[in-house]
Amino acid sequence: MTEDYREMWTHLGLDLDAHDALLGVLGGAYQDIFLSQKNRPEGMKYFDFVMSEVHGLRIKELLDEKKAGRKIVGSYCVFVPEEIVLAAGATLVGLCSGADFATPEVEKLLPRNTCALIKSSFGFKLGKVCPYLESADMIVGENTCDGKKKAYESLGHLVKNLYVMDLPQVKSDQGRALLKSEYQRFRTAMEALTGAAVTSESLKQAIQTVNAKRAAIHRLSILRKADPAPISGLDALLANQVFFYDNPARFTDSVNQICDELEKRIAEKKGVFPAGTPRILVSGCPQAVPNWKLPFIVETSGAVIVGEESCVGERGARNLTDASGETVDEMMDAIVDRYYQVDCAIFTPNPQRLEHIQEMVATYRADGVIHYGLQFCQPYLMESFPIEKALEEKKIPTLRIETDYSMEDVGQLKTRIEAFIEQLR
Amino acid sequence: MGKRFAGIDIGSRTIELVVVDTSGKIVDSLQTDTGFDPMTAARKLIHGMDYDRIMATGYGRNLFEISFDTLTVTEIKAHATGARTFFPDAHTVLDIGGQDSKAISLFETGRVKKFEMNDRCAAGTGKFLEIMAKTLGFDIESFGREALLSEKDIAISSMCTVFAESEVTSLIAGGKNRREIARGLHTSVIQRAAGMINRVSSTGDIVFTGGVAKNPCMRQLLAETLGRNVLTPEDPQLVGALGAALLAMEIP
């Protein structure tokens, strides 16, 4: 990295030594996990570049936007509607939460038995290593699981402008009404932040921008149903992760370019692994950068991941927002309709999630499902039992794993995953 | 002389080597402690051994694969395969080794249907029993026999090896009978194993493999707790290596 960025990071208040250490580990992991893969699509070079500049050039772009008067909004959840952020003239970025950092400091504020994702979000703040968080003019928290909603009470003391969005837990008329009123309140808050009104033109444009980004990811997802798989699960996950960081229009173009290449590969029956490689659907908790532990183990044990039923994946990106409305109110309703369908495990009951898993198994021709649960994540771990039972009744082999971001259980996980893959052969 | 196939099971505590002939009969078997340098121990074990093909299993299998350029199989499939040679109708296998334990259910064909495995720590494994035996002043060979001499057991609430050890120490200090404590420790391991078995299979005989299956108290409590028949091969610690040897033979 150049001195230019060091000045920028210092200015953002990052702890340069800790940040160097983080980038060192990240760079090494990226080399070992991604660049060592065989038969990667050429188009992945764009994502390699994005990752090499994830704390550099992309941050500079955001700071340039800020200089030009644009606001940056950070979020931890797919329930924060990017359409409204864009329509108010701001930029939405996902915040860092995929690695353990500054754990002893975090455990002064949070119980040890808090999930790795929440601990990580605090660790990046307390360790002063997330330039996205430090660039953000507003951080949006959301009342999803108990862990997150209580953690935001403490996070509010650590960051300047924390906004907490309430979310329903039951899909009912009242639940939908709550989501609608919360999105309206959010729109008002965004307008206050940027000083720009959300208009029918700006909202329509925003919906189209985000829809294009989602449509590109849908196109990528559906190409993964081919055997041999034209792209590794690791690389596809990376695209889904970059979804949260990159400039939306540029991301859309880059994903579409990769899809053009993958279509050619499929026509030539070329893939990343031989035809007949066991195919796995991963379902459960989100996998944020740089949490590549599970797919790395799976794809170095003789299987390929063909889909992620996850917030960083299809649960988060499924469904477009209807852009046909003419008024702001009509389009706000369409946004509520779209997000109301997200089948997060905080909802009770949540039968759509099981339906979607089965649908994805069929669409992507998966041979088995790995349910990925973060330790102490009650919503997903609770759902993992009935999901396992229901899938096995349908003769879909299922492996339930519970893990965190540490590397201490890699040997155990490898044995379990290899044995699961032996079952699928 | 016909072909010979070897299986090596590189566990956390011990390494077993089994060689079979083309009929699947065991013609050679060796065991050694893993120690701190498993590849050197493995190299010594295979030195001078005559075989046409070898397959590795156990937690050290990937290291062995790299060092000796061989094929590997997980302990789960290896134990399932090995257990079936002794008990061809087996549908459920419990393997408790040095540092992990697994419950496996099988299809009619012998293929693995489902398995459960303990989490990252040594709770409920051979290592746990070994440390507890030492704390109580028993040697590991007689630990199970001594425990069986007790009519009742003292409940042990901690499954964590570290916590259980201090719990046992305070029970000893409290003047409790050490055989009763020993039986209580066996019961706590069996309850955990029973939970894993129930998640993969609810009826039928259980084939108990791995070094811990040599412990008579474990066998008896397992049968009593689940109300199911428990079958144990003569050398249960060799089952993983035997399974690997048989799988080495199956390769065309």
Can you name the residues that pair with B7 across neighbouring β-strands? B18, B55
Q: How far is CA A416 from the centre of its chain?
A: 25
Interface check B134 vs A, CB under 8 A: no
pLDDT reported for residue B121: 73
A315 touches A78 (CB < 8 A): yes
pLDDT reported for residue A18: 96
Interface check B113 vs A, CB under 8 A: yes
Two structure tokens written together for B20? 């079979």
Residues of B in contact with A413 (CB under 8 A): none
Alpha helices in A114-172 (DSSP H): 116-126, 131-135, 146-155
Which superfamily does B89-232 belong to?
A: ATPase, nucleotide binding domain (3.30.420.40)
Computed over every residue of chain A, the mean pLDDT equals 97
Residue B139, H or E segment:
none
Distance CA A75, CA A414 (A): 33
Alpha helices in A68-199 (DSSP H): 82-87, 103-106, 116-126, 131-135, 146-155, 173-194
Q: What pLDDT, in 10s, does the model give residues A173-218?
A: 999 999 999 999 999 999 999 999 999 999 999 999 999 999 999 9
CB contact under 8 A, B114 and A392: yes
Residues 6+ apart with CB under 8 A from B26: B18, B19, B20, B238, B242
Residue of B73, B113, B117 with shortest CB distance to A416: B117
φ/ψ of residue A403, rounded to 5: -150, -170
Beta strands in B125-247 (DSSP E): 206-209, 230-231
CA proximity to B244, closest of B104, B124, B125, B71 = B71
Interface check A388 vs B, CB under 8 A: no
A178 touches A168 (CB < 8 A): yes
Distance CA B62, CA B66 (A): 6
Q: What pLDDT, in 10s, does the model give residues A401-425?
A: 999 999 989 999 999 999 999 999 9
CA proximity to B98, closest of B45, B40, B54, B35 = B35
CB contact under 8 A, B62 and A392: no
A317 by Cβ neighbours in 10 Å (0-12 / 13-18 / 19+) ranks as: buried
A268 by Cβ neighbours in 10 Å (0-12 / 13-18 / 19+) ranks as: exposed
Pairing between strand A162-165 and B26-33?
unpaired
Rounded to the nearest angstrom, the minimum Cα separation between B76 and chain A is 6
Two structure tokens written together for B243? 């399974």
Return the domain boundaries, chain B.
1-87+235-252, 89-232
Q: What pLDDT, in 10s, does the model give residues A21-57?
A: 999 999 999 999 999 999 999 999 999 999 999 999 9
Q: How many helices (H) and strands (E) does chain B have?
A: 9, 10
Residue of A397, A409, A418 with shortest CB distance to B120: A409
If you write DSSP's letter for every residue of B41-83 in order, what string do you get? Answer: HHHHHHTT---SEEEEESTTHHHHHHHHT-EE--HHHHHHHHH
Determine the Cα angle at A20 with ends A16 and A24, to 5°: 170
Mutate to test the interface with A, among B120, B121, B125, B247 (most CBs of A within 10 A): B120
pLDDT reported for residue A3: 60
Residue pointed to by tokens 């080399």: A31
Pairing between strand B4-10 and B14-21?
antiparallel
Distance CA B193, CA A225 (A): 39
Distance CA A231, CA A216 (A): 15
Q: What pLDDT, in 10s, does the model give residues A359-376?
A: 999 999 999 999 999 999
Q: How far is CA A341 from the centre of its chain?
A: 17
pTM: 0.94
CB contact under 8 A, B59 and A415: yes
Residues 6+ apart with CB under 8 A from A360: A281, A283, A307, A309, A314, A366
B81 by Cβ neighbours in 10 Å (0-12 / 13-18 / 19+) ranks as: buried
Q: What interface predicted TM-score (ipTM) does this complex get?
A: 0.90
Two structure tokens written together for A284? 């459960």
Beta strands in chain B (DSSP E): 4-10, 14-21, 26-33, 53-57, 71-72, 92-96, 101-106, 112-117, 206-209, 230-231
Parts of chain B with a pLDDT under 70? 1, 120
Two structure tokens written together for B144? 């199970």
If you write DSSP's letter for every residue of A311-374 in order, what string do you get? Answer: TTTHHHH-SPPP----SHHHHHHHHHHHHHT---TTSSS-HHHHHHHHHHHHHTT-SEEEEEEE
CB contact under 8 A, A422 and B73: yes
Distance CA A165, CA A206 (A): 20
Closest-CA residue of chain A to B110: A423
pLDDT reported for residue B118: 82
Q: What pLDDT, in 10s, does the model give residues B81-122?
A: 999 999 999 999 999 998 889 999 999 999 999 999 987 677
Amino acid at position B57, single letter: T
Residues 6+ apart with CB under 8 A from B99: B11, B12, B13, B59, B122, B125, B126, B127
CA proximity to A43, closest of A257, A224, A223, A247 = A257
Interface check B199 vs A, CB under 8 A: no
Half-sphere exposure for A144 (CA within 13 Å, toward CB): 22
pLDDT reported for residue B1: 65
The top-level CATH class assigned to B1-87+235-252 is: alpha beta
pLDDT reported for residue A298: 98
Q: What pLDDT, in 10s, does the model give residues A270-293?
A: 999 999 999 999 999 999 999 999
Residue pointed to by tokens 């500049």: A53
Residue A356 has pLDDT above 80, yes or no: yes
Interface check B221 vs A, CB under 8 A: no
Two structure tokens written together for B69? 């350029």
Residue A89 has pLDDT above 90, yes or no: yes
CA proximity to A76, closest of A111, A13, A135, A122 = A122
> Is the fold of B1-87+235-252 the same as that of B89-232?
yes
Residue A4 has pLDDT above 90, yes or no: no
Phi-psi region of A389 (alpha: psi -120 to 50; beta: other; left: phi over 0): alpha
Rounded to the nearest angstrom, the minimum Cα separation between A423 and chain B is 6
Amino acid at position B175, single letter: G
Closest-CA residue of chain B to A385: B199
The neighbour count for residue A88, using CB atoms within 10 Å, is 26
CA proximity to A318, closest of A238, A240, A262 = A240
pLDDT reported for residue B122: 73
Residue pointed to by tokens 């979804």: A243
